[in-house]
Amino acid sequence: MNTFDQQHIWHPYAKVPSEIDTYLVKSASGVHLNLDNGQQVIDGMSSWWSAIHGYNHPDLNKAAIDQLGKMSHVMFGGLTHDPAIKLAQTLVELTPENLTKVFFTDSGSVAVEAALKMALQYWHNKGQTNRHKFITLRGGYHGDTFGAMSVCDPDNGMHHLFAGVLPKHYFVKSPSMVAMDEALGDLEATLDTHSDTIAAMILEPVVQGAGGMRIYNPQYLTKAKALCDKHQVLFILDEIATGFGRTGELFALEYVDVEPDILCLGKALTGGYMTLAATLTTDEISQEVGTLMHGPTFMANPLACSVANASIELLLNSPWQDNIANIEAVLNSELSSLRAHEKVADVRILGAIGVVELLDEINVQLVQDLLIKQGVWLRPYGKLLYTMPPFIITKQELLTITRAIKTVIEAL
């Protein structure tokens, strides 16, 4: 561990000084991180689910270098540029037909902030200022900024410290925690009672990410959207973690072809190269909102947009569906048997997502040390030991990850 780093640099979800070792990465290539001690480890996290093509990819490197020779950044207020135009065109083509307007942001959390503001301003401009609440699922996670925190799980999420100062919204049962009919009944009852104060529903489609890595029946989306339409509540899908192939569909909403009113994208948008996100919405909402008083300094950064264009092209021209299916097959064959293990509460697998939920809290330092010794990088949290590997991972590399997971569980 670097002493200066430990004493002075505040890492995510950690203290200063850090109580858990950090590992110094000198370089990265393919699915491997090269540590300063000369060890090479397989990144089973895709750098928090974003590096879907792995590291140091020549196509993405070239896109960044080519753009760097033109301009690394230019403000988006009053100006525009080709990389942003091309990226917006691509996103409009790839997402549901009703989504025609693109608002670029510089992170997933801010994409959610923009979506919430769009919904609030939409109803304000329609004269329904009473619609200032949101409805969302328990177990959800939408980011760490203030508005995003307010729609994360208020009890079991990581933001309970701020519960006393965050806006109060409506939280309903998640179909990943209870039967789908029970979850829908709770949603319907809440909408029946409070819809006149609700601007929008926001949820992660099919997979709830950092709030618990839970998977639910996609049919819930269709029925939840119908209930929202009935009560004139906007429907926001947060695909920041699930977008660009992670679940086995290009977007998780494609499991049922649901059309959200607002869609948030991020993480894998640039293949993990740079921070960039986008919020898409409809003609009607954009016209009603008018001027959205939101404008991040690095909004639509040309470097990030150029790499995003290259990343999407690389993904679509690859056998990504076969790759995801192969990853899912290995995860199922290697991890499913752990459901019977005395230390395991559940195993959940979908696409390139493999989750082992333990009965007890994980000692992160102990587990990370064990994983590193086996040549694997994973970042467990709470009771969850999970992997979301790059799509280019080989079967042997993936087996190294799954075997490391099983070895760790036996050692606990």
Residue 396 maps to which CATH number?
3.90.1150.10
Residue 157: predicted pLDDT: 63
φ, ψ of residue 322 to 5 degrees: the values are: -65, -40
Q: What is the DSSP string of 31-70?
A: TEEEETTS-EEEESSHHHHT-TT-BS-HHHHHHHHHHHTT
Give the H/E segment covering residue 28.
strand 25-29
Q: What is the CATH number of the domain that holds 124?
A: 3.40.640.10
Q: Are residues 160 and 301 in the same domain?
A: yes
pTM: 0.97
Give the H/E segment covering residue 333.
helix 320-335
Cβ-Cβ contacts under 8 Å for 257 (sequence gap 6 or more): 96
Last residue of a domain, one of 284, 300, 316: 316
* Mean pLDDT confidence for 217-228: 98
Beta bridge partners of 25: 35
| Number of C-beta neighbours around residue 392 at 10 A | 17
Cβ-Cβ contacts under 8 Å for 135 (sequence gap 6 or more): 169, 170, 171, 172, 187, 190, 191, 194, 198, 200, 201, 202, 233
Cβ-Cβ contacts under 8 Å for 55 (sequence gap 6 or more): 28, 29, 30, 31, 32, 33, 43, 272
Q: Are residues 171 and 247 in the same domain?
A: yes
Q: What is the pLDDT of residues 355-367, one digit of tens each?
A: 999 999 999 999 9
Q: Are residues 283 and 192 in the same domain?
A: yes
Q: Are residues 30 and 43 in the same domain?
A: yes
Q: What is the pLDDT of residues 68-114, one digit of tens each?
A: 999 999 999 999 999 999 999 999 999 999 999 999 999 999 999 99
Q: Mean pLDDT for the chain?
A: 96
Q: What is the pLDDT of residues 8-35, one digit of tens each?
A: 999 998 999 988 889 999 999 999 999 9
Q: Are residues 215 and 280 in the same domain?
A: yes
First to last CA, the chain: 24
Query: What ranges make up the beta strands (E) of 296-370?
Result: 344-350, 353-358
Percent of the chain with pLDDT over 70: 99
Q: Are residues 282 and 368 in the same domain?
A: no
The two three-digit tokens of residue 348, written as one number: 């959940």
Q: Are residues 285 and 373 in the same domain?
A: no
Which residue segment(s) compose the domain that 249 sits in?
A: 63-316
Fill in the amino acid letter for 399. Answer: L
**Whether the predicted pLDDT of 177 surpasses 70:** yes
Q: Are residues 171 and 37 in the same domain?
A: no
Residues with catalytic roles: 13, 141, 238, 267
Q: Are residues 311 and 324 in the same domain?
A: no
Q: Are residues 48 and 148 in the same domain?
A: no
Confidence of residue 155 (pLDDT cuts 50, 70, 90): confident
Greater confidence (92 vs 155) lies with 92
Last residue of a domain, one of 316, 337, 353: 316
* Mean pLDDT confidence for 42-66: 98
Cβ-Cβ contacts under 8 Å for 153 (sequence gap 6 or more): 138, 139, 140, 141, 171, 211, 212
Last residue of a domain, one of 296, 316, 336: 316
Calculate ∠ Cα 14-149-228, nearest 5°.
145
Buried b (16+ CB within 10 A) or exposed e, 309-342: bbbbebbeeeebeebbebbbebbeebbeebeeee
| SS3 category, 108 | helix
Q: Are residues 189 and 310 in the same domain?
A: yes
**How far is it, in rounded angstroms, from Cα 305 to Cα 326?**
30
Instruction: Please tell me the total count of domains within the chain.
Output: 2
Give the H/E segment covering residue 165.
none
Q: Are residues 364 and 400 in the same domain?
A: yes
Q: What is the pLDDT of residues 267-304, one digit of tens each?
A: 999 999 999 999 999 999 999 999 999 999 999 999 99
